[in-house]
Structure 1
Amino acid sequence: MKTKVQTFLICILTYLLFGDLVANPSLPTRFQWKWTNNQVLELNEYHDVLFRVGTKTVEREDKNRVVMKTKQCSQDSCLVNAWFDTYLRYGKTTGPFWKDKEFISDFTLYRNGRYEVPNEFIMPNLRSFPSFPDTPISVGDLWKLPAEESFDFTSERIRVKVTPEYTFQGIFPWKEGNYSGNCEKITYTYPIFYTKSESDKMAPNVPYKIFGFATGTVFFNAERGVPEFKEVKLSYTFIYPNGTVQEANFHIKGVYFLRNQVNAKDKESIREDVLNDLIVGYTGNREDIGDRKEGLPNQVAESLPVKVRTSEDGIVFSLDSILFDFNESKLKADAENAVSKIAEILKKYPDREIRVSGHTDNVGKKEYNQKLSEERAKSVLHSLVDNHKLDEKHISFRGYADDLPVAPNDTEENRQKNRRVEITLVLD
């Protein structure tokens, strides 16, 4: 009996001493973007997409890579230069993503999360998500601020004003694949309604009515002043003048990475390190590369079946056309060996985007060269994924036929230079 009484008294004392600390909510949090000059925020999004028209459905997986660089920051905002790369693959399946489109954009991002996007840019199409009040927020607080969705159709852009309702949930862990974090969690919901005015001209391929609903979660690190992870579900219904009704559903997950900008000098330094590793991979002896202070010996680098250079995007490995038989897309033994050496280098950059592109000379029909360039790119990609276990979510392919020559197609020697597969380690 004495033990029970002692336990009860201890519980009462604990409550009196610490009860208020447990019951009271945490101190209010001030949310704002804390970007500074020369910083990069990269967003990698993955979308499960379902389209439905009548009884016909199409499933698709999209990947968006968004790179946002601060050009100039003030106390109130940052001017941002951004690149948007889109990739896709059809069906609920594994396999490579096909690189689809590229967009560029300049916009202003205010510290409270509000966007200002000039009319000439279509990206980003979700704007001012999330936006924050100017005053600190406590756990459980709700707020509403205006935002916008921009839809681009063949002949018209429709911009829909929405008003999300946000709730600060507190600090929670998040995890997506190999990435995880623990920071402030914000949820939001909003309906979507749009009806074209009867006085506006109707276009057959542009909906006159859009309605739907969105729910989203953003993990925003208040201390660092940037988002870490987001998950969004969007559901749209589009009604066209001819009576066609199209449904579109998106389940989006995105992971953010904050880093400093990579300048030309940084890229050249990385290129030298990469080339050093590549030469060692072939020679097996670091003495063969000579004194680094004197530079890498040209005769060693030139003898490799792989050339390495910097580009606007990053570091490019260019595989000679001799790695494929004439008019064939299957990798030869020497090609497999080269890809193996490159794969070991790429594994040192697990969070970076990798693009595989196929190229041909201008001999032959365009349609044939396009298919051949795609098949060769896919052969290299499959080797990286299947044989060397690189994460296929970070790799995409595209065939360019003869659209991007590195030399004039005026001699056999130059045409051979154009028949190549390139692997780009994206740094920007």
Structure 2
Amino acid sequence: MTFRRLVFYSFVTILPMAMASADPQSKTSFQWKWKENQVLELNEYHDVFFRVGTKTVEREDKNRVVMKPKKCSTDSCLVNAWFDTYLRYGKTSGPFWKDKEFLSDFTLFRNGRYEVPNEFIMPNLRSFPSFPDTAVSVSDVWKLPAEESFDFNSERIRVKVVPEYTFQGVFPWSEGNYKGNCEKITYTYPIFYNKPDGEKMVPNVPYKIFGFASGTVFFNASRGVPEFKEVKLSYTFIYPNGTVQEANFHIKGVYFLRNQINAKDKESIREDILEDLIVGYTGDLNGTKIGDPSKDKTNGKLPNEENLGRITDTGEIPSPEKKTDPKNLPVSVRTSEDGIVFSLDSILFDFNDSKLKPEAETAVTKIAEILKKYPDREIRVSGHTDNIGKKEYNQKLSEDRAKSVLHSLVDLHKMDEKHISFKGYADEVPIVPNDTEENRHKNRRVEITLVLD
């Protein structure tokens, strides 16, 4: 197995924890308490290290998991989950590349146990943690079965493990701009797998896996959901051809609990965003623009004034008589299954060039101002082309244009790159058929998605 193929998606998607009080003899019961109208989002960041012989590869992974209960009973919830994975190589800053997407339906029992149908590979760490039936005190220890599922190209290997959990009490946690104070559980377990005698060896699939895991999970017992986790995983894979591969993961993840957003909510957000894209214009004889500190006496808005100007491809603020129809803007805004999509017209770039035109920064600046109002949300930048030209060229052009917009958001507008990723799609995702020049023009675009689900 190559370094590229071994992408271990360490989604300890749901790591609940226990609660301690000032009295170490007090007991706490643990169970999941989320409801059908709630969404639990996990944002994970992995430091990854691979070694085969003297060759090493370092990588950073970012995983976003969105879990929605479809139906809940007193003892379990049927969960619909989306798994998005992102990569960047080397110990460097810079944008994450959008890698893969996975969907999954699984059952999460109130005690933390999972049941995952065979057709789904996610989550691959299952029943972490599981809770005892009785309440626990600080320093109590328990063991319950769990499973790791390794999905290789031609075979899936499931390894049964038995983690040992210890309830530590209530402690503070912090990660970046996020912090909390809730119940802390630590756990450890060894990993060992040896292909049974008589089973056929498969190339690029290990016949032996061994390793060790240790983790800390903060679970808010009163709310019944996790808040933060930190996990260290170490694996050694031995392949039929004698290759020995080591893989180490250091994972940190923050959870966010929120109510689900419906189609009506999304449309309301889209309308608010369209309002934010409007640029004010005074329309007086001196041509004064809103925001001119020497002449603006009304905090950017004159009495009875309408917002008449909108962004154009030149950055110009149109006069009232040129009153721009929103359909003619180089930036359109629509709702999607994922959230709100800003679509940047290809006129913001020179022909066959990935560099943003200087005047295009007007549009990106306005979009950045809007995106900063949603600091905890995922931002995806995607590049798209028409179907004219070679596939390889279009793929690179679409990636370069997406990166150009991303770098503008990060470098010029100081947006947090940890929440932004890019991907080029060439002509794979047209919004209209590539059957006319007008339609091909529409397909040549860069999109910025504000992820709401």
| Among 303, 307, 311, the residue aligned to 2:336 | 311
Matched letter for residue 357 of structure 1: S
SS of match in other structure, 1:367: helix
Take 2:47 and 2:28, find their aligned partners in 1: how far apart are those partners? Answer: 33
Partner of 2:159: 160
Matched letter for residue 287 of structure 1: E
Task: Say if 2:417 is the partner of 1:398.
Answer: no
Take 2:75 and 2:63, find their aligned partners in 1: how far apart are those partners? Answer: 28
SS of match in other structure, 1:330: coil
1:253-272, aligned counterparts within 5 Å?
253-272=252-271
Cα displacement (A) at 1:23: 8.9
Cα displacement (A) at 1:320: 0.4
Q: Is the 8 A contact 1:276 1:289 kept in 2?
A: no
Cα displacement (A) at 1:334: 2.3
Cα displacement (A) at 1:416: 0.5
| Among 277, 280, 287, the residue aligned to 2:306 | 287
TM-score with structure 1 length normalisation?
A: 0.91
Cα displacement (A) at 1:280: 3.6
Q: Which runs of 4+ in 1 moved over 6 A?
A: none
Take 1:353 and 1:241, find their aligned partners in 2: how far apart are those partners? Answer: 41
Matched letter for residue 125 of structure 1: N
Q: Note the aligned Cα RMSD (angstroms).
A: 1.5
Task: Say if 2:297 is the partner of 1:278.
Answer: no
**Greater per-residue helix proportion:** 1
Is the alpha carbon distance of 1:32 and 1:281 closer, same or farther for their aligned partners in structure 2, counting shifts above 3 Å? farther
Q: Is the 8 A contact 2:238 2:245 kept in 1?
A: yes
Identity of aligned residues (%): 84
Partner of 1:418: 443
Cα displacement (A) at 1:304: 2.2
Take 2:198 and 2:123, find their aligned partners in 1: how far apart are those partners? Answer: 29
Partner of 1:83: 82
TM-score with structure 2 length normalisation?
A: 0.86
Cα displacement (A) at 1:224: 0.3
Cα displacement (A) at 1:337: 1.1
SS of match in other structure, 1:28: coil
Take 2:280 and 2:373, find their aligned partners in 1: how far apart are those partners? Answer: 14
Q: Deviations over 1:161-202 (max 9, x none)?
A: 000000000000000000000000000000000000121111
Cα displacement (A) at 1:24: 4.7
Deviates more, 1:274-283 or 1:343-352: 274-283
Partner of 1:101: 100
Partner of 1:373: 398
1:165-314, aligned counterparts within 5 Å?
165-280=164-279, 287-288=306-307, 300-314=325-339
Partner of 1:338: 363
The answer for unaligned runs of 5 or more in structure 2 is 1-20, 282-288, 291-300, 310-322
Matched letter for residue 394 of structure 1: H
Matched letter for residue 417 of structure 2: E
SS of match in other structure, 2:306: helix
Matched letter for residue 173 of structure 2: W
Q: Deviations over 1:261-300 (max 9, x none)?
A: 010000000000011101147885672269xxxxxxx954
SS of match in other structure, 1:52: strand
SS of match in other structure, 1:351: coil
Partner of 1:10: none
Cα displacement (A) at 1:403: 0.4
Matched letter for residue 214 of structure 2: T
Cα displacement (A) at 1:25: 1.3
Take 2:340 and 2:180, find their aligned partners in 1: how far apart are those partners? Answer: 29
Take 1:123 and 1:273, find their aligned partners in 2: how far apart are those partners? Answer: 36
Q: Is the 8 A contact 1:407 1:417 kept in 2?
A: yes
Q: Deviations over 1:23-74 (max 9, x none)?
A: 9515101110001112100000000000000000000000000000010100
Q: Deviations over 1:93-140 (max 9, x none)?
A: 000000000000000000000000000000000111111001111000
SS of match in other structure, 2:92: coil
SS of match in other structure, 1:288: coil
Is the alpha carbon distance of 1:281 and 1:54 closer, same or farther for their aligned partners in structure 2, counting shifts above 3 Å? farther
Partner of 2:320: none
Matched letter for residue 25 of structure 1: P
Take 1:234 and 1:280, find their aligned partners in 2: how far apart are those partners? Answer: 51
Q: Deviations over 1:387-424 (max 9, x none)?
A: 00110000000000000011111111111100000000
Take 1:346 and 1:258, find their aligned partners in 2: how far apart are those partners? Answer: 20
